[in-house]
Amino acid sequence: MAVVAVLVRRPLEQVGNVTLLPSPPLKIFYCGKIHRTEFTVLSCVTVREAINQGMDEELERDEKVFLLGEEVAQYDGAYKVSRGLWKKYGDKRIIDTPISEMGFAGIAVGAAMAGLRPICEFMTFNFSMQAIDQVINSAAKTYYMSGGLQSVPIVFRGPNGASAGVAAQHSQCFAAWYGHCPGLKVVSPWSSEDAKGLIKSAIRDNNPVVVLENELMYGVPFELPSEAQSKDFLIPIGKAKIERPGTHVTIVAHSRPVGHCLEAATVLSKEGIECEVINLRTIRPMDIETIEASVMKTNHLVTVEGGWPQFGVGAEICARIMEGPAFNFLDAPAVRVTGADVPMPYAKILEDNSVPQVKDIIFAIKKTLNI
Amino acid sequence: MKKMLTAAVSRVLSGVTQKPASRVLAASCKYSNNATFEIKKCDLYRLEEGPPVTTVLTREDGLRYYKMMQTVRRMELKADQLYKQKFIRGFCHLCDGQEACCVGLEAGINPTDHVITSYRAHGFSYTRGLAVRSILAELTGRRGGCAKGKGGSMHMYAKNFYGGNGIVGAQGPLGAGVALACKYKGNNEVCLTLYGDGAANQGQISEAYNMAALWHLPCVFICENNRYGMGTSVERAAANTDYYKRGNFIPGLRVDGMDILCVREATKFAADYCRSGKGPILMELLTYRYHGHSMSDPGISYRTREEIQSVRSKSDPIMLLKDKMVNNKLASVEELKEIDVEVRKEIDDAAQFAMTDPEPPLEELGHHIYSSNPPFDIRGANQWIKFQSIS
C-alpha cells in the first residue's frame, strides 16, 4: 500500500465536549505503509498517544513519578495528552492544580528535591514565564550551587511555540530561552518516536529537563517501529538524528519544522538536490558534532526553527559551526530560516507568513546553493 | 571544695568530647535536673487551643540550647569580621538576634523532618547539622566549604535542609513541595517553610498557602518577622501586619521569637498539628536582627540605635535563656562562661580554617552541572577554554 498523500484539511475533532482545532493540511501521512518483514511490526501512533504511552509506562515503572498541572487529571489534559492517566493512577499521582504556575512549579521542584520525580505540565510554555524563576533558579542551578549535594529530578513539559490562531501571547517559542541556561536539559521532539523516547528519557534523567512539545503535532500519526514499543525504549538526550541522508545541503531543524524540511527535501529531490535533514531532538546539550559531520560532507547549512531569529537556536548553531572544523568546509555562509521577528499576529494571512513555510525553506536552500 | 569541683568540671568540659558522667556528678552536687517555666501565651488565629503555657527545661537541653545559640551568635559575628576583612564577598545576611528561632525550631522537630529558609540561613545551616568550619569556609569560598565553594552564603544545603534560597519567597512553594513529598511517601514527616516579613507579601507565598491547604500538606509555614524587610518596616510594606493571620484559611499562631522555650513549644505544637493530617499551619515568630539587612546595610537609617540597644538589653535570646538557667539553678554563670570560651575557640579554629583552606581548584569550575551524567566539556570564556564537567 503506497503512502497516502492527502491535501485536504482534516475535519474538526470532537473529543468529549471539547472541539479540537484541526491540524494544518498534511501533505504526507507518515503512516499508512505496511511493512511485511519478519521482525518489524509497525503501528500508527499520534504524538499525543506517544507522550501518553511514555508517561503511562514511567508512572507504572516507578511509583515516585507523578504528574501535576492544570486540568491534567479529571479533564484528561487540556490537549488530552494525559487522557486516561487519572482514571488509572488516581488523585495521588495525577494532580489537578489551581491556576498558580509559580506556586505549582515551585511545589514540583520542592518535591523533586525531597526525592520524588515530578512531571510538571505547563498548559503552554507561554505560562511558564510566570514560573520561570522556579525553573531556572530553583531547579536548573541547584545541583551546581550545592556543589553536587542536591539534585532536582524534574520534568517540565507542555506545548511550545506557534499554534493556529492563538495570537501573540500564546505563540512564543521558548527553545532559546531555556536552551540558554546551564543546568537544564532541553528537548524538542518532532515525531511520535521522538516524543515517546524523549519523555521517557526525561523522566528517568536525574536533572531538570524541559520537554518542548508542539500542539499542532499532537494529532499527527507516525509509524512507531517495534523497538519503540518496548517499555524500555529510550532516546538519548543530547543526540540528533539524521532523518533523511543527503549530499548537497545540511538542514537542521527541531520540532514541527522538521516535517516542513522533509517536505522541502522531497520537492527539491525532484530537481536533483539531495538535502540531508537533521532532527535536532535536543536543544541542550546540543549535538553539534552530528551537524558538523554533515556540513563537512555537504558544504552548506540551513537552520530552520519556529522561534524568533535574534539569539535563537539557529544563531547558536551558526556561531558554533564558525568555531569548529566545519567552517572551513562551508562553500557559502550558513543561513537561518526562522519565525518572523514580530509578536504572532492573529489574521490568517499574517500568521501564515510569520512562521517558516516550506516555500521559505526551499527558497533559503536554493539561495545558499546559489541556484 | 566548690572551686576544686568547678576546676575539675572545667577541665573535663574543655576537652573536645563531653563527659556526661562528670556533668551528672556535678549536677547532683549543685544543679537541678530540670525546671518548669511559664511561657507567653501565643496569639491564636482559627485555633481553639494553642501550645502549652508552661514547659519543662532539662539542664541538659538548656546547656545544649545555650551552646548552640552562642555558637550561632559567635559564628555570625565572626562572619561580620571576616566580611570586613574582605575574606567574605558579595552578600552576607546575618541572623544574630534571631538565634532562638533556628535553635528553638530545631528543638521542636526531629532530624528526619525538613527545613527550608531564605538567604538568612547560616543559623539554620548550623542547626541542621553543618559544621561551623564548613559554613565559614563556604562563606570564604574555599574547597572545604559545605558546597565546595560553589554556592556561597545563600546556597548551603544539608540532609533534610534545602537551603539557603536567594530569591525572596521562592522557598515558599519549594517547602510546600517538600511537604507534598512527605505526604506522598506517608512518612509522618513535616517541612518547616520559613520566610520573612518582606517575603510574606510575595504572591507565590499565597499560592503555596492555597495549595498546601487544598491538599492538606504537612507544611508549617513560618514567618520570621524581624520587623524590617531590608529597609522597609512592616507598617510600610503590609496592609495587614498580623502575619500569622495572613494564611486566611490556614490557622495561625504568633510566637515570641526571642524566647527559645516559646519557640520550641510552638514548633512542637505546630508540627503535631501537621502530622495529624489537618493540613498546614502558620507560625509568626516575633524576632529581631541586630545587624542590618546584609553587610552592606548599616541598619541604622531606618531604625534607631536606641531601638536596637533596647532589644539587646531587654530581649536578647541568649541572655534570656542564661537568666532562666542561672536563676533556676540549671547552670552557673561560671559554667556558662566555660561554654562561651569553648565556643569562641571552636569559632576561631573554624575561622582559621576558612581563611587558610585553599580555593576550589580551577579544574572543578565546570563540575556539578548535571547529576548522574557521564563527563563532558563546558565552554569557558572563549572557545579554546574548556572545563571538564563531572557530576
- What's residue A16's pLDDT? 46
- Cell digits for B62? 538548656
Nearest-angstrom CA–CA distance, B131 and B351: 12
- What's residue A27's pLDDT? 38
pTM for the whole structure: 0.91
pLDDT over threshold 60, residue A123: yes
Residue B178 at interface with chain A, using a CB cutoff of 8 Å: yes
Distance from CA of A367 to the nearest CA of B (A): 30
Q: Do A98 and B376 touch (CB under 8 A)?
A: no
Convert the pLDDT of each residue in A251-269 to its tens digit: 999 999 999 999 999 999 9
Interface of B with A in 55-74 (CB under 8 A): none
- pLDDT band (50, 70, 90) for residue B1: low
Nearest-angstrom CA–CA distance, A135 and A156: 8
Nearest-angstrom CA–CA distance, A355 and A352: 6
Q: Do B177 and A97 touch (CB under 8 A)?
A: no
Q: Do A207 and B176 touch (CB under 8 A)?
A: no
pLDDT over threshold 50, residue A14: no
Beta strand pairing call for A155-159 and A117-121: parallel
Residue percentage of chain B with pLDDT more than 70:
93
- pLDDT band (50, 70, 90) for residue B30: confident
Query: Would you list the DSSP string of A36-105?
Result: --SS---EEEEHHHHHHHHHHHHHHH-TTEEEEETTSSTTS-TTSTTTTHHHHH-TTTEEE--S-HHHHH
Distance from CA of B278 to the nearest CA of A (A): 17
- What's residue B3's pLDDT? 55
Query: Do A241-369 and A47-229 have the same topology in CATH?
Result: yes
Beta strand pairing call for A117-121 and A209-213: unpaired
Query: Would you list the DSSP string of B8-71?
Result: HHHHHHTSSS--HHHHHHHHHHH--SEEEEE-PPPEEES-S--S-SEEEEEHHHHHHHHHHHHH
pLDDT over threshold 60, residue B85: yes
Nearest-angstrom CA–CA distance, A37 and B343: 77
The H or E element containing residue B254 is strand B252-256
Q: Do A143 and B369 touch (CB under 8 A)?
A: yes
Give the residue-averaged pLDDT of B358-385: 97
Residue B149 at interface with chain A, using a CB cutoff of 8 Å: yes
- What's residue A179's pLDDT? 98
- Cell digits for A270? 525532484
- What's residue A12's pLDDT? 43
Q: Who among B147, B173, B372 is closest to A110 (CB)? A: B173
Sequence ranges of the domains in chain A: 2-45, 47-229, 241-369
- Cell digits for B381? 570564556
C-alpha A101: how far from chain center? 21
Q: Give the orientation angle of helix A358-368 with respect to helix A257-269, to 10 degrees.
A: 60
Nearest-angstrom CA–CA distance, B186 and B201: 31
Residue percentage of chain A with pLDDT more than 90:
88
Interface of A with B in 171-200 (CB under 8 A): 182-183, 185
Local structure of residue B161 (DSSP, 8 states)? B
**CA trace torsion B108, B114, B118, B124 (10° rounding):** 50
Structural contact between residues A127 and A93, judged by C-beta atoms closer than 8 angstroms:
no
Q: Do B166 and A137 touch (CB under 8 A)?
A: yes
- Cell digits for B267? 514548633
Q: Who among B177, B211, B368 is closest to A114 (CB)? A: B177
Residue percentage of chain A with pLDDT more than 70:
89
Residue B77 at interface with chain A, using a CB cutoff of 8 Å: no
- What's residue A33's pLDDT? 47
Which fold would CATH assign to domain B40-379? Rossmann fold (3.40.50)
Q: Which CATH architecture has domain A241-369?
A: 3-Layer(aba) Sandwich (3.40)
Contacts for A329 with CB less than 8 Å, ≥ 6 apart: A295, A296, A299
Query: Would you list the DSSP string of A219-270?
Result: T-EEEE-GGGGSTT----TT--EEEE--SSEEEEE-STHHHHHHHHHHHHHT
Sheet with A117-121: strands ordered across: A94-96, A65-69, A117-121, A155-159, A209-213, A185-187, A282-284
Out of A17-31, A340-354, B128-142, least confident range: A17-31
Residue B186 at interface with chain A, using a CB cutoff of 8 Å: no
Residue B170 at interface with chain A, using a CB cutoff of 8 Å: yes
The one-letter code for the residue type at B282 is L
Structural contact between residues A124 and A81, judged by C-beta atoms closer than 8 angstroms:
no
Q: Most A CBs within 10 Å: which of B211, B217, B357, B383, as the mutation test of the A interface? A: B211
Residue B247 at interface with chain A, using a CB cutoff of 8 Å: no
Give the residue-averaged pLDDT of A179-192: 98
Nearest-angstrom CA–CA distance, A344 and A350: 8
Give the residue-averaged pLDDT of B224-232: 97
Nearest-angstrom CA–CA distance, A242 and A46: 21
A300 is catalytic: no
- What's residue A43's pLDDT? 83
Q: Please provide the average confidence, as pLDDT, over all residues in chain A.
A: 92
Q: Which CATH architecture has domain A47-229?
A: 3-Layer(aba) Sandwich (3.40)
C-alpha A317: how far from chain center? 17
Q: Do B211 and A98 touch (CB under 8 A)?
A: yes
Residue A153 at interface with chain B, using a CB cutoff of 8 Å: yes
Three-state SS for A324?
coil
- Cell digits for B71? 555558637
ipTM of the complex: 0.91
- pLDDT band (50, 70, 90) for residue B5: low
- pLDDT band (50, 70, 90) for residue B7: low
- Cell digits for B91? 552578600
Q: Do B172 and A106 touch (CB under 8 A)?
A: yes
The one-letter code for the residue type at B234 is V
Q: Do A145 and B203 touch (CB under 8 A)?
A: no
Give the residue-averaged pLDDT of B17-46: 77
Nearest-angstrom CA–CA distance, B308 and B297: 14
Structural contact between residues B137 and B354, judged by C-beta atoms closer than 8 angstroms:
yes
Give the residue-averaged pLDDT of A125-147: 98
Residue B177 at interface with chain A, using a CB cutoff of 8 Å: yes
Convert the pLDDT of each residue in B121-171 to its tens digit: 999 999 999 999 999 999 999 999 999 999 999 999 999 999 999 999 999
Contacts for B130 with CB less than 8 Å, ≥ 6 apart: B146, B156, B158, B161
Three-state SS for B158?
strand
Distance from CA of B127 to the nearest CA of A (A): 18
**CA trace torsion A200, A203, A206, A207 (10° rounding):** 100
Question: Rounded to whole angstroms, what are the CA distances from A160 to A119, A172, A286, A296?
Answer: 16, 7, 18, 32
Residue A323 at interface with chain B, using a CB cutoff of 8 Å: yes
Taking alpha carbons only, the member of B37, B82, B72 closest to residue B58 is: B37
The one-letter code for the residue type at B253 is L
Residue A272 at interface with chain B, using a CB cutoff of 8 Å: no
Q: What share of residues in chain B are helix, strand, coil (percent, to 5)?
A: 45, 15, 40
- pLDDT band (50, 70, 90) for residue A20: very low
Q: Who among B116, B207, B367 is closest to A103 (CB)? A: B207
Partners of A97 on chain B (C-beta within 8 Å) are 211
Nearest-angstrom CA–CA distance, B94 and B116: 17
- Cell digits for B163? 537551603
A101 is catalytic: yes
Structural contact between residues A348 and A310, judged by C-beta atoms closer than 8 angstroms:
no
pLDDT over threshold 80, residue B25: no
Which of A57, A58, A101, A213 is an active site residue?
A: A101
Partners of A134 on chain B (C-beta within 8 Å) are 170, 173-174
- What's residue B23's pLDDT? 56
- pLDDT band (50, 70, 90) for residue B87: very high
Query: Would you list the DSSP string of A285-311?
Result: TT-HHHHHHHHHHHS-EEEE-SS-STT
- Cell digits for A4? 497516502
Q: Do B174 and A148 touch (CB under 8 A)?
A: no
**In chain A, whose CA is at the least distance from the CA of B190?**
A114
Q: Do A105 and B173 touch (CB under 8 A)?
A: yes
Which residue pairs, CB below 8 angstroms and at least 24 apart, start in B361-367? B361/B143, B363/B387, B363/B388, B364/B148, B366/B390, B367/A148, B367/B391
Taking alpha carbons only, the member of B386, B378, B351 closest to residue B131 is: B351
- Cell digits for A144? 551546581
Q: Do A285 and B376 touch (CB under 8 A)?
A: yes
Three-state SS for B199?
helix
